[in-house]
Amino acid sequence: MGLFSIFRRDTSGKPGEWYYCLRHARVEEGPDCPAKDRLGPYPDRAGAERALRTARDRDEEWRTDPRWNDDPGNGPAGGPPEPGDTGR
């Protein structure tokens, strides 16, 4: 381990996997940028091109899912409801 190994880029991944790089705002194949700056891997370029839309859609689904809200009356300690709980 060299002196500057703590500053190495973590580019885990392999060629043939597609990512959307948040830092460069573009689709990249393989591990070009650090994992902290990427969404993916996706099996193909088209999936990586849709990465931001996919993330936005999933976030909206999570935000509007009645099983996951911050209403203290719906689930223990504001968490998800117990199995079988209808929230009433």
pTM score of the predicted model: 0.60
pLDDT per residue over 1-50, tens digit each?
Answer: 454 444 445 555 667 899 999 999 999 998 789 999 999 999 999 999 99
- CA dist., res. 59 & res. 74, Å (int): 20
pLDDT per residue over 74-87, tens digit each?
Answer: 544 555 556 665 55
Give residue 46's Cα distance to chain centre.
17
Distances (CA, A) of 20 to 24, 57, 70, 73: 9, 16, 31, 39
pLDDT per residue over 53-73, tens digit each?
Answer: 999 999 999 988 888 766 655
Cis peptide before 81 (omega within 30 of 0): no
What's the CA angle centered on 10, arms 6 and 12, to 5 degrees?
Answer: 145
Do strands 26-29 and 38-42 pair parallel, antiparallel, or not at all (unpaired)? unpaired
